[in-house]
Copies of this chain bind each other. A is one copy, B any other.
Amino acid sequence: MGSGMKVHQFSRGLWEHEPSLTLGCCKNTSLLLRPLAPKLPTADSVSTTAATATAAFDLKSFIRPESGPRKLGSSDHKTEATQVETHPGGTRWNPTQEQIGILEMLYRGGMRTPNAQQIEQITTQLGKYGKIEGKNVFYWFQNHKARERQKQKRNSILGLNNSPRASTASTITTISLDTRGQMEKEVEESPYKRKCRTWTFEGLEEEKRHCKEGGDKTLELFPLHPEGK
């Protein structure tokens, strides 16, 4: 199955990178602050770092917090952000027809992996038609691209066999709307590109057990960093 092993080496060094404007949380404005770190060559950094860097930094709360002291009931942390409510009934994004339409239009227009700014704009626009987040847009493009590709691969393989029910799923006929120069090689996609997408974590995760039978809405909330950038 995996017999491709193609190596793309060209198109090198032409991708620019975005410096990703560093939200204001990192409060080190002085640029040369790494006075520590004696930079010993070929240091194993095992015993040394363990001694130097531990500081005030209890790992217990980080590593698998379930095994540690369970601090669920205690409002010890800063549980003050009341951003409750969130997803009323569903865990995952349920796109509306308008949203899908716009996304497909963008895809057909040639967009493959939008960058952060584009995702932000798209999310803002699609937000008018229903709840959506940036990651939904991102994932949609990822998935759509991958599935279009494997659909085409399957069609190209099965198409030679010409089984009478293979490709009757969609059979879109009115594709040729205007098709200016945009369409180009819908097939034979270029497999590697180098983009930079700067993203930052913001919302905290929501595990929400399978919620098949649980009806209670005890949603506690956590401190996100509300200070934006």
Question: Which residues of A are at the interface with B, using a C-beta cutoff of 8 A?
Answer: 1-3, 11, 13-28, 31-34, 36-37, 39, 43-50, 52-55, 57, 59, 61-67, 81, 83-89, 91, 96-102, 104-106, 109-112, 114-125, 127-135, 138, 170, 172, 174-175, 177, 181-182, 190, 193, 195-210, 219-226, 228-229
**Which of A18, A98, A128 has the most chain B CB atoms inside 10 A of its CB?**
A18
| Smallest CB-CB A-B distances: 8 pairs | A49-B101, A17-B207, A20-B206, A37-B97, A18-B205, A21-B83, A19-B219, A53-B101
Find out whether the CB atom of A197 lies under 8 angstroms from the CB atom of B202: no
A220 to B17, CA, bound (A): 10
Find out whether the CB atom of A84 lies under 8 angstroms from the CB atom of B21: yes
A53 to B28, CA, bound (A): 45
Chain B residues, Cβ within 8 Å of A67: 181-182
Find out whether the CB atom of B204 lies under 8 angstroms from the CB atom of A105: no
A81 to B78, CA, bound (A): 31
- Min CB distance A15 to B, Å, is 5
Find out whether the CB atom of A53 lies under 8 angstroms from the CB atom of B98: yes
Find out whether the CB atom of B17 lies under 8 angstroms from the CB atom of A104: no
Known: A88-B32, A97-B39, A117-B222. A204 touches B174 (CB 8 A): no
**SS class, residues of chain A in contact with chain B:** loop
Chain B residues, Cβ within 8 Å of A26: 127, 131-133
Find out whether the CB atom of B17 lies under 8 angstroms from the CB atom of A91: yes
A128 to B20, CA, bound (A): 20
Find out whether the CB atom of B20 lies under 8 angstroms from the CB atom of A97: no
Chain B residues, Cβ within 8 Å of A47: 174, 177
- Min CB distance A23 to B, Å, is 6
Cross-chain pairs A/B with CB under 8 angstroms, 5 sampled: A17-B209, A19-B86, A20-B203, A34-B96, A200-B203
Chain B residues, Cβ within 8 Å of A124: 25
Other-chain contact of A21, B2, B104, B110, B222 (Cβ < 8 Å): B222
Find out whether the CB atom of B209 lies under 8 angstroms from the CB atom of A198: no
Other-chain contact of A127, B2, B28, B45, B219 (Cβ < 8 Å): B28
